[in-house]
Amino acid sequence: MIRVVKMKAVILAGGKGTRLASLTKEIPKPMINVGDKPILEHQIELLKEFGITDITIITHYLSEVIENYFGNGGKFGVDISYFREEEPLGTCGGIKEIEDNLTEDFLIFYGDVMLNMDLDRLISFHYAKKSACTLVLHPNDHPYDSDLVEVNSENRITAFHSKPHEKGKYFRNLANAAIYIMSPKILRYIGKGKKADLAKDLFPSLLDKEMFYGYITAEYQKDVGTPKRLEEVNKDYKSGKIARLNMKNKRQAIFMDRDGVINREVNHLHKIEQLEILPDAIRAVKNINRSEFLAIVITNQPVIARNMCSVAELDEIHRKLETLLGEDKAKLDAIYYCPHHPDKGYPEERVEYKIDCECRKPKTGLLKKAEEEFNIDLKNSFFVGDADRDILCGKNAGMKTIAIGGFRGKEKPDRLFSNLEEAVDFILESSH
Ligand SMILES: [Zn+2]
């Protein structure tokens, strides 16, 4: 992929790292080692790999440690300039100060986030959407105390939900990973010399003025803000997981049916109060999350075609599903559903959804979509379901299939278990 525009990068590296006090007395947080080198060096290597060599580092706390280590960047094959903030001005202030250098769209990293991702794919998304500002988003295992973002079906950002979240409200598990591509036109909304935070103050105030998009990815991004998180990041680095999750590499997935697999079976579930998650499913999803498999739901929801509920109501049901899983630190990488049904001729139906589509299981349209969006190795992935259409769908895509929940279909799955947890345990054990 050849990019015409040469993109610059800004790294916000002024943070002190108060929760890592013992490590950050003599070095600023971005200089903490992951493996054998500072997080900041990992970031610079990643930028360089994608041809991004014009880098500005905004510093404040112990600036000289960073400047002495990286110098002008020559040793690292990049050009680095610095801006020292005398007084910390949130995340907006420093960027505003260097706006004369930012005449084209530019990348922003936070210096305390360990990440590895296919930046070409992110940049292509940003330009394809003609986005004024693109935020990298991901489901995480603590959405209840994360700043969350809402997107529409085109991935345009429609709302920011800052923590703390209102009790009893349901949110999609989409957290801000603090990696952005920003057009310079956003800079004119920042007041010079005023303390402000990009995600908390600036972005929400611009939603009705500029097009913000969310780039959703399952690649690795994690801040090292606490000793526990730093330990996890080091473990993931040493095992090679951080590099393996880059979108350039194919991933395996565990695809799951929804009703009767994740939540208790209800005939035509269409009201939010009918949704009840099965306890074993929460444990199962957590186990998937601990592995390197993606956790993806593939479900037929003809309740839309039958006009038993609207798309908005179904989305709210899925927000409840993600919120309840999130309360137990479990996350789904994606939910794909087919709203269609082929049988026409009922008075209450919604005609536009009464079609013979390509996405209704046992057809593989939704699997193909997931394959494309997550770069999935379908042949080495699994489908877990409780009905013939699930088993057939998995087989149609060349996957291994597991039936659960007193399966009484005609198809022959590769394996049979009583619930999702047992199925997932089997998959994870046999893939070791
Ligand atoms: Zn469909």
Residue 133 makes CB contacts below 8 A (sequence gap 6+) with 180, 181, 182, 183, 186, 203, 206, 210, 211, 212, 213
Name the residue among 60, 54, 46 with its Cα closest to residue 88: 60
Asked if residue 9 lies in contact with residue 109, where contact means CB atoms within 8 angstroms, the answer is yes
The CA 161 to ligand 1 mean position distance, Å, reads: 31
For all residues of the chain together, what is the average pLDDT?
94
pLDDT, position 348 = 86
The CA 366 to ligand 1 mean position distance, Å, reads: 8
Q: Do domains 8-243 and 250-430 have the same CATH topology?
A: no
Q: What is the pLDDT of residues 369-388, one digit of tens each?
A: 999 999 999 999 999 999 99
Asked if residue 256 lies in contact with residue 150, where contact means CB atoms within 8 angstroms, the answer is no
Lowest mean pLDDT among 164-168, 211-215, 304-308, 343-347: 343-347
User: Does position 1 have pLDDT exceeding 70, yes or no?
Assistant: no
* CB < 8 Å & 24+ apart, contacts of 357-365: 360/300, 360/302, 361/257, 361/298, 361/299, 361/300, 361/389, 361/390, 361/392, 361/393, 362/388, 362/389, 362/390, 362/392, 362/393, 362/396, 363/393, 363/396, 364/393, 364/396, 364/397, 365/338
**Where do the domains of the chain lie?**
8-243, 250-430
pTM assigned to the model:
0.94
The CA 424 to ligand 1 mean position distance, Å, reads: 27
Given pLDDT bands bounded at 50, 70 and 90, which one contains residue 16?
confident
User: Does position 187 have pLDDT exceeding 70, yes or no?
Assistant: yes
Q: How far is CA 313 from CA 92, 170, 277, 307, in A?
A: 37, 12, 18, 11
**DSSP class of residue 90?**
B
Q: Percentage of residues in the chain with pLDDT exceeding 70?
A: 99
User: Does position 411 have pLDDT exceeding 60, yes or no?
Assistant: yes
The CA 427 to ligand 1 mean position distance, Å, reads: 28
Average pLDDT over residues 282-287: 98
State both tokens at 205. 């105030």
**DSSP class of residue 166?**
P
The CA 360 to ligand 1 mean position distance, Å, reads: 4
Q: 């070409």: which residue's tokens?
A: 120
User: Does position 2 have pLDDT exceeding 60, yes or no?
Assistant: no
Given pLDDT bands bounded at 50, 70 and 90, which one contains residue 92?
confident
Residue 345 makes CB contacts below 8 A (sequence gap 6+) with none
User: Does position 50 have pLDDT exceeding 80, yes or no?
Assistant: yes
Say how far residue 246 (Cα) sits from the centre of its chain: 12
b (16+ CB within 10 A) / e for 9-24: bbbbbbbebeebeebb
The CA 302 to ligand 1 mean position distance, Å, reads: 8
pLDDT, position 308 = 95
The residue type found at 196 is A
The CA 429 to ligand 1 mean position distance, Å, reads: 34
Q: How far is CA 34 from CA 43, 68, 294, in A?
A: 11, 19, 25
State both tokens at 398. 């060349």
The CA 296 to ligand 1 mean position distance, Å, reads: 17
The CA 338 to ligand 1 mean position distance, Å, reads: 4
Asked if residue 49 lies in contact with residue 95, where contact means CB atoms within 8 angstroms, the answer is no
Residues with active-site annotation: 257, 259
Asked if residue 177 lies in contact with residue 245, where contact means CB atoms within 8 angstroms, the answer is no
Q: What is the pLDDT of residues 154-165, one digit of tens each?
A: 999 999 998 899
pLDDT, position 3 = 55
CA distance 414 to 283: 22
pLDDT, position 193 = 80
pLDDT, position 134 = 98
User: Does position 313 have pLDDT exceeding 90, yes or no?
Assistant: yes
pLDDT, position 5 = 59
Lowest mean pLDDT among 34-48, 85-99, 181-195, 252-266: 85-99
pLDDT, position 4 = 52
The CA 341 to ligand 1 mean position distance, Å, reads: 7
Q: Which fold has domain 250-430?
A: Rossmann fold (3.40.50)
CATH number of 8-243: 1.10.1740.10, 3.90.550.10, 2.30.30.30, 3.30.420.40? 3.90.550.10
CA distance 21 to 93: 25
The CA 185 to ligand 1 mean position distance, Å, reads: 40
Element (H, E) at 300: strand 294-300
CA distance 215 to 157: 10
Q: What is the pLDDT of residues 335-361, one digit of tens each?
A: 999 999 998 888 888 999 999 999 999
pLDDT, position 111 = 94
